[in-house]
Amino acid sequence: MSGNGATSGGDPTGGGLVDAVPETVIETEVPPLELVGVHAAYGGIEVLHGIDLAVAAGEVVALLGANGAGKSTTVKVCSGLLPPTRGAVRVVGHDVTGVPSHELARIGVCTIPEGRGVFPNLTVRENLWMATQVTGERAELEEAAYARFPRLGDRRTQLAGTLSGGEQQMLALARALVTDPAVLLLDELSMGLAPIIVQQLYEIVAQVASDGISILVVEQFAQAVLGIADRAVIMVNGEITRVGTPAEMQSELSNAYLGG
């Protein structure tokens, strides 16, 4: 994946991001991640009723919706943890429906699941070691991670469970990024974190996107993520009800949340 000159990642608020969308779409016609008519259920109770969604290379798509809308379920389907009951999941055009998540991880679909991106009883180093199951040498990955997050370097022998919430998510992000994924799925990265830390994390996400990674960001509260998203998708009761630019969404969302 090549970098995209038009997306200047450091700018979280500028309209330039939105302008860049058409370019990226043209650049790669096959989206790295695509859901087609996906239905999913837990034990016979359907919670996703036909989701269509595509994330282009270098694009950040924000998936928004109230608690219980089915956002995490969508992420589980993308990452292979939950096979869809109907519909298809495609990665760079290949049908990967029903492919187990450990294989998806190897071909570059990387997920930070909701609320728990780290192994609390492993040290920082050991957490990063787990990433080598995807790809890479242990020493290299560690070096890359500490270069990006020096704070983790200082805490390398500490148990991940004893890190602060922000540091834990840093570790989760580090673990994800060092494997150089094609698709990154982030489920409520901001949960329980201070706004300033969320801001920092999202700046990193925007930067990564500018390297050409496709990113699906799930959030309940929209403000922080709309700053870096190229597109926003609103989900209600297992269906996508609205797609648009962050700017268009801004007003829409306040209605949706206050109404719900």
Partner 1 sequence: METFLQYTILGLVAGGVYGIAASGLVVTYTTSGIFNFAHGAVAMLSAFTYWQLRFGWDWPAPLALVVVLGVLAPLLGALLYGVVMRGLRGTSEVARIVVPVSVMLGFLALSTWVWDPTPRSPRLFLMFFGAGNTVSIGGVNLAWHEITAVVIAVVVALGLRFLFFGTRTGVAMRAVVDDPDLLELNAGRPERLAMASWALGAFLAALAGVLITPMMGSAMSAHALTLLVIDAFAAAMFGRLRSVPRTFVGALVLGLLGSYVIGYFPSDRWTWTGNFRVSLPMITLFVVLLFLPQDRLRGATVLRSRERYRLPSVRTAVVAAVVLVAGMWLLRGILAPTAVNHMAFGMSMAVIALSLVLLTGYAGEINLAVLSFGAIGAIIVHHFGVSGSGGDARSTLFGYAAAAVVCALVGALVALPSLRLRGLYLALSTMAFGVFVSNMLLRDITERQLPLLHTRFSIFPSGNLGVPRPKFGPVDLVAMPTFLMFLTVLFAVLGVGLIALRHSSYGRRLTAMKDSPAASATLGQSLVTLKLSVFMLSAAIAGVGGALMTAQIGSANLDRFDIFLSLTLLMLTVVGGIGYVSGALFGGIAAGVLFVALQNTFDKLGVDHPDLEGFFEFLANLTLVLPALMGVSIGRNPTGAVEKILVDFGPVRRVRPVLVAGIATVGVAYVLARNETISNWWLIVVTAVVIGVMPQAAKRWAPGPSEAAVDGTALPAADGADLPLELVGVVRPYTVADREMLDAALDVPAGKG
- Could you tell me the smallest distance in angstroms from the CB atom of residue 221 to Mg ion? 12
Which residue in 64, 92, 110, 177 binds partner 1 (CB under 8 A)? 110
Size of interface with Mg ion, in residues (CB under 5 A): 2
Q: Which is nearer to ligand ADP, 73 or 190 (CB)?
A: 73
Reading phi first (left if > 0) and then psi (alpha if -120 to 50, else beta), residue 86 is in beta
Q: How far is CA 252 from CA 221, 227, 246, in A?
A: 13, 15, 10
Q: Closest distance between ligand ADP and the C-beta of residue 187, in Å? A: 7
> CB under 8 A: which stretch of 54-62, 96-104, 205-213, 248-256 binds partner 1?
96-104
Contacting partner 1 (CB under 8 A), which of 3, 22, 120, 260? Answer: 120
Residues 71 to 90 in contact with Mg ion, rule: CB under 5 A: 72
- Give the footprint of partner 1 on residues 185-224 (CB under 8 A): none
SS3 per-residue string spanning 108-174: CEEEECCCCCCCCCCEHHHHHHHHCCCCCCHHHHHHHHHHHCHHHHHCCCCEHHHCCHHHHHHHHHH
Does residue 68 touch ligand ADP according to CB under 6 A?
A: yes
Cα dihedral: 130, 133, 138, 143 (round 10) = -70
Per-residue x/- track, 93-132, Mg ion (CB under 5 A): ---------------------x------------------
Tell me if 160 sits within 8 A of 84, measured CB to CB.
Answer: no
The position carrying tokens 């300033």 is 196
Q: In this chain, which of 12, 50, 87, 113 binds partner 1, going by CB under 8 A?
A: 113
122 touches partner 1 (CB under 8 A): yes
Q: Which residues of 37-67 are buried (b: 16+ CB within 10 A; e: fewer)?
A: ebbbbeeeeebbbebebbbbbbbbbbbbbee
The DSSP string of 225-243 is HHTT-SEEEEEETTEEEEE
Are 66 and 236 in contact, with CB atoms under 8 Å apart? yes
Which amino acid is located at 223 in the chain?
Q
Q: How far is the CB of 127 from partner 1 (least distance, A)?
A: 8
Quick note: the x/- pattern for Mg ion over 2-31, rule CB under 5 A, is ------------------------------
DSSP bridge partners of 88: 36
- Is 106 a binder of partner 1 (CB under 8 A)? yes
Binding site for Mg ion (CB under 5 A): 72, 114
Binding site for ligand ADP (CB under 6 A): 42, 47, 65, 67-73
Binding site for partner 1 (CB under 8 A): 43-45, 68, 79, 81, 100-103, 105-106, 110-111, 113, 116-122, 126, 129-134, 138, 175
